Structures are given as structure tokens and as C-alpha cells.
Chains A and B, each alone.
Chain A
Amino acid sequence: MGTELKIVAFCCEHSGSLAARMACAGESETSAGTEIVSVPCSGSVQAADILKAFRSGADGVVIVGCHDGSCKHLVGNRRVQRRVEHLAGTLKEIGWNPERVAFFPVSAVEGQLFRDRLAEVVDRLRGLEAGR
């Protein structure tokens, strides 16, 4: 079932992107409104990028990186998680629900996990009021 929700997913090219590609195999079941942006490391995703995604109309943003301890660049996944936590506070201040941004880790072969996590995000977003 397609959805009108738009999600931008910043995916680490070592894990998220590969898992996404695997998950793509069953395209009809996945959220058609998800844009995958491949990045060299989840740690390269800035707060400004997340907000740009919202400005371009995204309802939700996910950052998909490597599991703790498995980042090829050692600390990237931790750095971006800190940024997301900080941004959550800012979103609250402007009346946006901080749950619109989420980080979740996958490994390159966890296509099913990617799909499950994304489905959780879609469910959560559907539950939120539209627009905010």
C-alpha cells in the first residue's frame, strides 16, 4: 500500500544504503514515498541537512547508520546520534514533534530489519498530527 507520507532517509553507504537496496527487492510493500540519500558515513549528516529535508516537504527523516562499534569511521554513528538528540530539543522549541527524526542502525545485510524499522517510522508518523 503506498502512502502519501514523505520520508527522507540518509543512509550510510556501508550499511544503510546496502540494506535499503536489499529491502527494495519487495518494492510494492515498502513506502513508495521514501527518498534514499546515500552518504559516506552517517556521521556526515548535519542538522542543516535534516532541516533541509523538512523544508523540502518531508514528514519524517531517518538516518540509517552502522551498529554501535561497527562504524567504519569509528565514531560517525555516535556523532550523528548526538546531533539528532540536540536537534530534538530545537524541534520541540518550534512546536515540531521531535519523533519526526530518528536514527536506527542496520548492517549491510539486514534488509528485513531496514524494512521493519522504516515501517515503524511510518506508523509513528501516521499517528502524529499532520503538518507539525
Chain B
Amino acid sequence: MIVAERKPITEIREMVEPHESVLIVGCGACVTVCMAGGEKEAELLCSILVLAFKDTGKQFTWDCVERQCEPEFVEPLADKIQANDAVLSMACGAGVQTVVAQFPSIPVYPALNTQFVGRPLEQGLWAETCAGCGNCILHKTGGICPIARCSKSLLNGPCGGSVNGRCEVDPENVECGWQLIYDRLEQAGTLYLLDEIMPPKDWSTSAHGGVRRVIREDVRL
């Protein structure tokens, strides 16, 4: 799922400083699960800002929608939004932009930094696992993504900085992705998959290739 993190309060304060009444909007999807922008976090941020701007007369209220990237869920906020000077969105980038698209005349601020597509390793710890490159090769690398989990996104094995299974970029926290791939393929008895040399990647299908779209003609109304 999408993993995001709340911006530092100091940064959020600066954003809302020029406004007198701000509506904080949470999202019930990914950011709820990664504890960044769900109902609980929205309520909490509201209280934090009330205390931060105590005695200034600024008004802070909060709400939360099912999924902020769907116009149908954002639309019903119309009255509340019109009653405020600004919106502080606690959704991922997609949610923030949906609110802007629905309500173009009100300033919308992102309260989160959207980080990556990832999964929980344990409660409270999420790691990046998918880089959204648009051309998945997980079947060739034992189910471990070399784009997302190798610091250099190498395609044909580790670099010289792989020591004891750790990545030289941050040995304490980062495992060498290619070590993981090798170990997994060895365990599965499919090391022969590494015999195939992968050519230089065509990055046009990834974020580097420009703005992407996915279309399903058969489900369009």
C-alpha cells in the first residue's frame, strides 16, 4: 500500500499560519493503515494545531473521508470546505490533488509526505518494496524487486558494496537486495534464472518516462 508520513509540525504550522480557519481532512484508506492520516491522526493534528495557535483566534476543525482520491467521497465536504479559508489534507498526493480538483478556489495544503509503495515488516515499521516501474520482473528475481530493494536498482547482480548481506549505503538498516534475491533463488532451486542477462532497462514505463495512465476501455461507462 501507499506509505506516507506526517510532515513535521513546524512545517505544517508555517503552511496554515496565514489562514484563520482550516479544515483538516483525513483519509480512510492507505494513510489510515500506515498511521499517518486516518481519523485518529486527523483528530490529533487538529488538537495539536489548536494548542499551537492557542489564543490566536484561529479555528481548526477536522473530518475524514472514506478514500480521498475519489471525487464522490470528497464532494460532500463542500459545505465544510466553503466555511473555511484553507484545507489541510492528510491524504497521499493523489488525495490532495483530488480535493484541489474538486475545490479549485481554496488553498489545499499537504500534511503528509507520501513516501513509497511498501509493506509492513512489523507493526509500526514499513519498508519500500515496489517502485512502480511499470514492467514487473519479480518472477525473474525470486519475488524480490531489484528496482525497489537495491539502492542502485541494478538488474544483474550486486555491486562491490555488498558486504555480509548489507548495503554499503546504510549497512545498519538496508539489506543488499541482490543478496536477498540470490538467497531466495538458491532456496527455491532456481538459480538458473540469473543466467539470463537483463538488458538496460527501458525506464519509459516508470515515473521517469513521464506522466502515466492506465486505461480499461471495457469498464468505461
> With a CB–CB cut-off of 8 A, which chain A residues contact B9?
90, 93-94
Quote the shortest CB–CB distance from A123 to chain B (angstroms): 23
Asked whether A55 and B52 contact (CB < 8 A) given A47-B44, A48-B44, A93-B10, the answer is no
Within 8 A of A (CB), among B11-46: 13, 40, 43-44
Query: When each residue 203-219 of chain B gets 1 if its CB lies under 8 Å from chain A and 0 otherwise, what string results?
Result: 00000000000000000
| Interface residue from B8, B10, B13, B48 paired with A51 (Cβ < 8 Å) | B48
Q: Is B197 an interface residue (CB 8 A)?
A: no
> With a CB–CB cut-off of 8 A, which chain B residues contact A47?
44
Q: Is B50 an interface residue (CB 8 A)?
A: yes
Q: Is the interface of A mostly helix, strand, loop or mixed?
A: helix
Query: When each residue 49-60 of chain B gets 1 if its CB lies under 8 Å from chain A and 0 otherwise, what string results?
Result: 011100000000
Q: Is the interface of B mostly helix, strand, loop or mixed?
A: helix
Q: Which residue of A lies closest to B13 (CB)?
A: A94
Q: Is B47 an interface residue (CB 8 A)?
A: yes
> With a CB–CB cut-off of 8 A, which chain B residues contact A51?
44, 47-48, 51
> With a CB–CB cut-off of 8 A, which chain A residues contact B50?
55
Chain B residues close to A by CB (< 8 Å): 8-10, 13, 40, 43-44, 47-48, 50-52
